[in-house]
Amino acid sequence: MNIYLEEQLARDRVAEARAWAAQHGLVQDFAPARRPIRVTLGHALIRMGHWVTGREQSHTHAGPVTA
């Protein structure tokens, strides 16, 4: 095969790879940010604590209960 042709094919493949990488990078920029695992774990522990104590989550921010 001709060396010039091989160089041109290599340049085309590199250009395609760069275009794909740039497009992939843009897609990642618009993806919604994920919450850190510590936040997810913290919320799960809070929900589990409410479940264990028998409280509903909607009552957690209410004032003191008077009987």
pTM of the model: 0.40
Kindly report the length of the chain. Answer: 67
- Tokens 């920029």 belong to residue: 29
Q: How far apart are CA 12 and CA 6, in angstroms?
A: 10
Least Cα distance to 28 among 39, 20, 36 occurs for: 20
Per-residue pLDDT tens for 19-42?
988 888 766 666 677 889 999 999
Q: Provide CB contacts within 8 A for 57, sequence distance 6+.
A: 47, 50
How many CB atoms lie under 10 A from the CB of residue 35?
11
Q: Is the pLDDT of residue 1 over 80?
A: no
